[in-house]
Each structure stands twice: as structure tokens, then as C-alpha cells.
Amino acid sequence: MELPVFTVDSFSSGPFSGNPAAVCLLHSELQDDLYQKIAAEMNLSETAFIRKLNPTDDFHSENSNQTLTFETLSGALRARLDGDYIVMDLPINEPIAQDPKEVKELIKAAVGELTVQDVLYCGSLKKIIVRLSDTYERHVLESLKVDPQSLMRCETTGKVKSLVVTLKGNPAGQPAYDFYSRNFAPWYGVPEDPVTGSSHTVLGSYWAEKLGKLKMLAFQCSPRGGELKVSLREDGRVDVAGRAVIVLQGNLRL
């Protein structure tokens, strides 16, 4: 059996940046153990398996602007093409204020002695959000050296599964990013996620209130880096958009 497989760099307009993921097109379901074996073979943080629910549908639809709905283990995911951006329709996840004293060791493990302006928690995603002081610039966030083992030693309750450090952007910059972030998730086996769409459902909610804006341009400052457009909607959802490029295409032989 041969299965079409792609490596896609998402939230990027060129190769070797953004979030790399494998995408495998299926004609029918596989045995459960094969999914894990294929994902291990791809050796990327994400491997997506796509199968048509209606066998008569074509993967390569002539109407490239239609909204596609993916039935995932986490629920329905809707995505559409808008120019050269892929737009994901996601629920907004609003964070709540977190007492810094309750997670002071975790904060120190992440940002050391840097001044922290806000600490928040999103229970639905088990994320801690740490906002650095506005006195810092982007290079301070990029220069952080976060030890994943130290994070895991500071948090063993299961309440936190990822930690996001964020910083207000530079409106005078080119591009004029509204905010920056980095995402560390060693509890999931990911020391640092290159670009994280789900985190921006939380960050979008937070920064929209702080900046008084519903449409924002964000940059995740991982070593690979990734750009995202975040747009809050009146129906309680958020559009997270990014470009994507295919960097590898072939067939997987089973």
C-alpha cells in the first residue's frame, strides 16, 4: 500500500520556518498501531491523518475557497482559504488572572529575574500565560533559555501542560506586530513548540482587551518563528490565519 504524504511548514511563507507537520492522506482507516508508527517515522511534533468522510468527495476540489470541516478527536475544525492564507475557525479561550505567588517557582524557571507584568491561566487548555514588562523588547524574549526539565520539576500537579511567555509588540516595527510569544510544553514532550495556533485563541482574547483591537498581527519567536493573523469575532470565536508551504511530497509505502 502507498499513501500520499507531505511535510508542510505552516504559519510560514517559506521553507524551514513556521511549524513543520506531516500530512498523510488516507483512503480508509488504518490499524491503530500504524498511526503511531507512521508518526514516529515522520519524526515531527505533529502528524495529521486525513480521510474523506464521503468517498465520492475529491481531495482536490475545484472550489478552493470553500470552507472545509475536519472531524477531529478534539471536535470539528473548520478551515477556509482566504487569498494565500489558511484561516482556522476556533473557539475563543479566555484566561483568568493567576496569583503569581502560587506559581512563582514555575515563573522563575521560565523567565528568571525578568519583570513580569501579568500572569494568567486558561483551564480549558491548561496553559499558564506570563506577560513580560513592556519595558522589554523582542530580543529579550528571543534570548530566553528555558530548561524544560526545570519547568517539569516546578509543576507536577497536572494543572499546567504548557507555558506561554508573551510580550507587547512594536507598532512602529516592520512588520508592526501587536504581540510576541513563545510556547513551552515539555509536559507534552515538546520542549518548545515552533508555532502554536491554540495558544493564540488565548493570547488573542487577552491582547484584544489590552490593545483595544479585534484584528492583530502576532509573531511566535521560536528559533523557527511564525507569523499569525488573529481576528476576534462577535460570535465568540476567533480566526487564526497563516500561510503554509509544502516542502516535501511523496508516497509512504506500507
**Dist. CA 170–CA 190, nearest whole Å:** 28
- DSSP H helices, the chain, are 32-42, 104-111, 138-142, 148-154, 199-211
Residue count of the chain: 254
117 within 8 A of 108, measured Cβ to Cβ: no
**Dist. CA 136–CA 134, nearest whole Å:** 5
Mean pLDDT of 92-96: 97
The string of pLDDT tens digits covering residues 121-132 is 999 999 999 999
46 is catalytic: yes
Confidence label for 190 from pLDDT (cuts 50, 70 and 90): very high
Query: Residue 253 corresponds to which cell in the numbers above?
Result: 509505502
Domains of the chain: 96-242 (3.10.310.10)
**Dist. CA 236–CA 214, nearest whole Å:** 12
- The catalytic position among 41, 46, 142, 209 is 46
Compute φ and ψ for 125, nearest 5 degrees: -110, 0
Q: Is the dihedral of CA 185, 47, 50, 221 positive or negative?
A: positive
Q: How many of the other CB atoms lie within 10 Å of CB of 29?
A: 10
Vertex 208: Cα angle to 202 and 214 (nearest 5): 110
pTM: 0.92
Question: Cis link prior to 175 (omega < 30° from 0)?
Answer: yes
Above pLDDT 90, what percent of the chain? 86
Residue 60: the pLDDT is 56
The string of pLDDT tens digits covering residues 209-243 is 999 999 999 999 999 999 999 999 999 999 999 99
Residue 63: the pLDDT is 53
169 within 8 A of 143, measured Cβ to Cβ: no
Mean pLDDT of 145-167: 97
Query: Residue 98 corresponds to which cell in the numbers above?
Result: 493567576
HSE, CB side, 13 Å, CA atoms: give it for residue 26.
17
pLDDT at position 171 over 90: no
